[in-house]
Amino acid sequence: MRDASACPPENAATREMGSFGHSTADAIIAAETMNKYTFIWTISPSPAVEYADTIPPFDVVIGKNTITLTIRANSADAQLIDQANEVAHDVARSLSYEHSSRFDVAYGGYEEEAPTGSKSAYVIARISGMSVMLGSAEFEMRDSDGNVIDSSAIQRRKRLTTLTRRAILDPNLRDMLDHRSRYASDPDGRLHPLYDVLQVVERLYRGRKKAAKALNMTCADLDALARINNDPNVLNGRHPGNSPGPHRTASEAEVNTCERVARAIIDNYAAKIAI
What pLDDT sits at residue 153?
66
The closest alpha carbon to 270, from 154, 147, 177, belongs to 177
What pLDDT sits at residue 1?
41
The closest alpha carbon to 264, from 209, 225, 238, belongs to 225
The answer to whether the CB of 249 falls within 8 A of the CB of 263 is no
The answer to whether the CB of 82 falls within 8 A of the CB of 51 is no
Sign of CA dihedral 185, 186, 192, 194: positive
The closest alpha carbon to 103, from 167, 47, 180, belongs to 47
φ/ψ of 256, rounded to 5, equals -60, -40
pLDDT tens digits in sequence order for the chain, 275 residues long? 444 333 344 444 444 444 445 555 554 455 567 899 999 988 777 777 788 889 989 999 988 888 999 999 988 888 888 899 889 888 888 888 887 776 677 888 888 898 888 877 765 433 333 333 333 445 556 556 666 656 666 777 788 889 999 999 999 999 999 999 899 888 788 999 999 999 999 999 999 999 999 999 999 999 999 999 999 999 999 988 788 888 999 999 999 999 999 999 999 999 999 98
The answer to whether the CB of 69 falls within 8 A of the CB of 83 is no
Contacts of 177 (CB under 8 A, 6+ apart): 93, 94, 96, 97, 163, 167, 266
SS3 187: coil
Q: Could you state, in order of their start, the residue ranges of all structural domains in the chain?
A: 32-169, 172-270
Cα gap 90→203, rounded to integer Å: 22
The answer to whether the CB of 112 falls within 8 A of the CB of 102 is no
SS3 35: strand
What pLDDT sits at residue 120?
76
Cα gap 238→228, rounded to integer Å: 9
Cα gap 273→251, rounded to integer Å: 34
User: With 0-12 CB in 10 A as exposed, 13-18 as middle and 19+ as buried, what is 260?
Assistant: middle
The closest alpha carbon to 115, from 78, 81, 73, 149, belongs to 73
Determine the length of the chain: 275
